[in-house]
Amino acid sequence: GQNIDQPTEMTATEGAIVQINCTYQTSGFNGLFWYQQHAGEAPTFLSYNVLDGLEEKGRFSSFLSRSKGYSYLLLKELQMKDSASYLCAVRVAYSGAGSYQLTFGKGTKLSVIP
């Protein structure tokens, strides 16, 4: 099975930088995704890493180390609208079936304060 851990809650100040960590244990790893979910809404795709290293997309960056089973999402220049839950999800490939599944962590609720 898969096990994904991320902090339950974090608080950061507007304009600051925050790093949300995610560790995972899985077999058949085929990529790691980060999603943002505002309260009462469905998740929206933020980033995707399949190779080690840093992927940057505007104020958001995501890092992956496959050997350590570790990823982080970095949010810069925090804005109030960044208050949301951030979900780490690991994709697993099932060989022979040509199918993939995403397993989600429980999410990190980020509160941005003035």
Partner 1 sequence: DGGITQSPKYLFRKEGQNVTLSCEQNLNHDAMYWYRQDPGQGLRLIYYSQIVNDFQKGDIAEGYSVSREKKESFPLTVTSAQKNPTAFYPCASSMTGAEEQYFGPGTRLTVT
- Our finding on whether 5 is near partner 1 (CB under 8 A) is no
Only segment of 19-27, 38-46, 58-66, 68-76 that touches partner 1 (CB under 8 A):
38-46
Residue 51 or 114 with smaller CB distance to partner 1: 51
CB 6 within 8 A of CB 108: yes
Residues 46-85 contacting partner 1, CB under 8 A: 48
- Per-position x/- string for 14-33, each x denoting binding to partner 1 as judged by CB under 8 A, each - no binding: ----------------x--x
Q: Does 111 bind partner 1 (CB under 8 A)?
A: no
